[in-house]
Amino acid sequence: MGADLSKITCIEDLRRVARRRVPRMFYDYADSGSYTEGTYRANEADFQKILLRQRVAVNMEGRSTRTTLIGQDAAMPTAIAPTGLTGMQHADGEILGARAAKAFGIPFTLSTMSICSIEDVAAGTGGHPFWFQLYVMRDRDFIERLIDRAKAAGCSALMLTLDLQILGQRHKDIKNGMSAPPRPTLANLLNLATKPAWCWHMLGTRRRTFGNIVGHAKGVGDLSSLSSWTAEQFDPQLNWNDVEWIKKRWGGKLILKGIMDAEDARLAAGSGADAFIVSNHGGRQLDGAPSSIAALPAIADAVAGSPIEVWMDGGIRSGQDVLKARALGARGTLIGRSFLYGLGAYGEAGVACALRIIQKELDITMAFCGHTDINTVDKGVLLPGTY
């Protein structure tokens, strides 16, 4: 493992290893978008169109990528995004990801649709605070209990996802018959036979289904199909009144995820939330929407002067992407796939590797652009006409 990691130089390296090691249905679940996957691809490609201004003869000593996100210290302006089925990329994946984030000094966000439960992650990190992402279900008693469980676990922020009232169609999941754990079909068994390390780790854990739901939601003693349960439970009537109710029930820092329009950004700013995330759900919901980085500038301008923090996710594969997002108005960024590739490739060590890669690229690129403090970065680091 050490020899392999010593040759890992970028997130793409981790992606290639993860593709070899993770069963096809779970790799495809993470590395896919809805319908044509046009928005999914644009998230990454549009970053490449933005060019940087190189500056020279600038004192580059004493550099720092440290900042704050909703008042909480972070080693760089990046958090780990909530990702469903993380514990199917690697056994106990959410615990491993939270440990790596803790060691690195950035926030970790646990998804409602995680394999490891809120309580598992709290125990696995020694009670270190993490963030919890909430989906709103029709069963409001279950939602209230979820919020209370997050409070009891010491979560330091609640992230409410607004763009998954209904599920975007992801063709690969349908073709693969995606389920957790995988159904013992011939195709699945043949594929699992080629992933011995994944199978070995998975045999060593009891966490193989949706830990926040099974045994907690009414009448749910087993949950193999994500799509069928979400179709029944995700509430299509979610609206801004629900945000107010959730904020009151939670009582702590609140982050809204899924803003892609300036009008919605202004509503988010008026909701009393502490931050919102410019996000198209990694291109997994509305295909044909703009990339997150393309949508960011107008949205940031729409709430300029408001105390709400603007963040973004979608397509971040390098520290340069983090720098560009920061320059265009995002105080913070979140990484989903970049984190999952590291996890699927090498477990906790792979997540730590991904974070080191992103921070190193951020640090070096910031210096080449004439800055030594991430908190001073603005549009001046970008070449006019390319954003």
Q: Where is pLDDT greater, at 167 or 121?
A: 121
Do 124 and 97 touch, CB atoms closer than 8 A? no
Average pLDDT over residues 73-95: 98
Domains of the chain by residue range: 2-168+179-376
In whole angstroms, give the CA distance from residue 212 to residue 330: 31
Model confidence at 253: pLDDT above 60: yes
Tell me what pLDDT residue 234 has. Answer: 86
Residue 199 host element (H or E): helix 196-203
Model confidence at 36: pLDDT above 80: yes
Determine if the peptide bond prior to 82 is cis (ω within 30°): no
Residue 45 host element (H or E): helix 38-49
Interval 114-129: pLDDT, tens: 999 999 999 999 999 9
- What percentage of the chain exceeds 70 in pLDDT? 96
Q: Which residue has the tokens 């199917």?
A: 88
Tell me what pLDDT residue 167 has. Answer: 86
Q: Which CATH class is domain 2-168+179-376?
A: alpha beta
Interval 359-379: pLDDT, tens: 999 999 999 999 999 999 999
Interval 282-341: pLDDT, tens: 999 999 999 999 999 999 999 999 999 999 999 999 999 999 999 999 999 999 999 999
Tell me what pLDDT residue 179 has. Answer: 82
Model confidence at 1: pLDDT above 50: no
Model confidence at 263: pLDDT above 90: yes
Q: Which residues are catalytic?
A: 281
Report the predicted TM-score, pTM, of the whole model to 2 decimal places. 0.96
Q: Place 218 in a pLDDT band, splitting at 50, 70 and 90.
A: confident
Model confidence at 148: pLDDT above 90: yes
Average pLDDT over residues 79-88: 97
